[in-house]
A and B are shown apart, each in its own frame.
Chain A
């Protein structure tokens, strides 16, 4: 029997949807495997169609994007009710992703920057989006913009996670195959990824790491074959799950951790800090601190994709 699936985006960029489309001719196999009942980027279904479904009508929902506002949350709750299996697709649903970096700021900081202070805006009336407003006698509503970005699992029960920013297309395809073949592992598992650190699949050569200096990428041309971290470039490989195919590494770019932490690691950024501290050459605390102090913007380096799911999670209001 064909699967019934829905594909949705919360606070997302559409990259996960495009990763599904990037399965190319395998998209035809996905179409053989499943009928799609909601996919805003590609098909014309409405929220009212979903509301009209019986509970648990859908076999699976692929939900990309974080939960940034009340509409994201409302649709996440709605789809959870209609789905037998809820899958967090991509780094934003999984960890908050890049939009989760907004948790460094308050709701007001963001509203003011975007609608009042932006260099490209002319807003002399200082108009801000309102949840309820009346224009020419018509009542209009917008979602509530939350003070914090939440991951999908902070809002609804998530059965499986397909990590990545974006997830590798063939990994999405193989994960859908697991659903179709009723081969899903135990609930809560990460699917469509490896279970080791990225370093284990990285093609660069690894030796003894004794870092004496941190380099930014413009400060030195990296050697073509050696591990980035060994050369002093911060690379999140040791703290990141494998499965991406080392896409960034092969493009001469150190990892920033989009596949998230390995099993049993709750905070990827702190894990990476710990890994970095262990490969520094000096053993004296003062010298170690002197090197670590040269890391520019540690928060957005170590928690690039995972701030909203980390222990830090958000700025204190």
Chain B
């Protein structure tokens, strides 16, 4: 089965790729959007002094 990779997807904030799988007739069998990036803010802001939260979580997205 033929695969087409759009890697990376562009002109957006963040990381992503699209995998497209074609069948024997060349039609799209299925397509997947994948997000290959994770940093884990959910974990490492736990227990952070509350007054420091605004200047940490602003680094989730700088766009």
A residues lining the B interface (CB < 8 Å): 9, 11-18, 40-48, 68-69, 71, 97-99, 101-102, 104-105, 109-110, 113-114, 118, 129, 135-136, 138, 140, 142-143, 145, 165-166, 216-218, 248, 253, 256, 296-297, 300-301, 304
Query: Residue among A13, A97, A166 with the most chain B CB within 10 A?
Result: A13
Check if A13 sits within 8 Å of B40, measured CB to CB.
no
Chain A proximity mask over B41-52: 1 for CB below 8 Å, otherwise 0: 111101111011
Q: Which residues in B have their C-beta under 8 angstroms from that of A301? A: 52
Identify 9 new A-B residue pairs, CB closer than 8 A, beyond the known A15-B63, A110-B42, A297-B49: A14-B14, A15-B59, A46-B7, A98-B59, A102-B44, A114-B42, A135-B32, A142-B36, A297-B47
B residues lining the A interface (CB < 8 Å): 1, 6-8, 10-15, 19, 21, 29-30, 32, 34, 36-44, 46-49, 51-52, 55-56, 59-63
Q: Which residues in A have their C-beta under 8 angstroms from that of B32? A: 135, 138, 140
Chain A, residue nearest B12 (CB): A41
Q: Which residues in A have their C-beta under 8 angstroms from that of B38? A: 68-69, 110, 114, 129, 145
Q: Which residues in A have their C-beta under 8 angstroms from that of B36? A: 69, 71, 142-143
Chain B, residue nearest A9 (CB): B15
Check if A47 sits within 8 Å of B11, measured CB to CB.
no
Check if B62 sits within 8 Å of A14, measured CB to CB.
yes
Check if B43 sits within 8 Å of A113, measured CB to CB.
yes
11 cross-chain CB contacts under 8 A: A13-B61, A14-B13, A41-B10, A44-B10, A46-B6, A47-B7, A97-B59, A140-B34, A296-B49, A300-B48, A304-B56
Q: Which residues in A have their C-beta under 8 angstroms from that of B63? A: 13-15, 17-18, 41
**Complex Cα spacing A217 to B41, Å:** 23
**Complex Cα spacing A109 to B12, Å:** 29
Q: Which residues in A have their C-beta under 8 angstroms from that of B56? A: 98, 101, 304
Check if B39 sits within 8 Å of A11, measured CB to CB.
yes
Contact for B44 among A47, A104, A143, CB less than 8 A: A104
A118 and B40 contact, Cβ closer than 8 Å, known pairs A46-B6, A253-B55, A297-B49? no
A113 and B42 contact, Cβ closer than 8 Å, known pairs A218-B51, A256-B55? yes
Check if A18 sits within 8 Å of B62, measured CB to CB.
yes
Q: Which residues in A have their C-beta under 8 angstroms from that of B51? A: 216-218
A44 and B59 contact, Cβ closer than 8 Å, known pairs A142-B36, A297-B49? no
Write the nearest CB–CB distance from A192 to chain B, whole angstroms: 17
Check if A41 sits within 8 Å of B13, measured CB to CB.
yes
A102 and B8 contact, Cβ closer than 8 Å, known pairs A14-B13, A140-B32? no
Check if B47 sits within 8 Å of A45, measured CB to CB.
no
A297 and B48 contact, Cβ closer than 8 Å, known pairs A14-B62, A46-B8, A98-B56? yes
Q: Which residues in A have their C-beta under 8 angstroms from that of B48? A: 297, 300
Q: Which residues in B have their C-beta under 8 angstroms from that of A71? A: 15, 36-37
Write the nearest CB–CB distance from A159 to chain B, whole angstroms: 24
A105 and B43 contact, Cβ closer than 8 Å, known pairs A43-B10, A69-B37, A216-B49? yes
Q: Which residues in A have their C-beta under 8 angstroms from that of B44? A: 101-102, 104-105, 110
Check if B13 sits within 8 Å of A99, measured CB to CB.
no
A11 and B37 contact, Cβ closer than 8 Å, known pairs A98-B56, A138-B21, A140-B32? yes
Q: Which residues in A have their C-beta under 8 angstroms from that of B13? A: 13-14, 41
Check if A68 sits within 8 Å of B12, measured CB to CB.
no
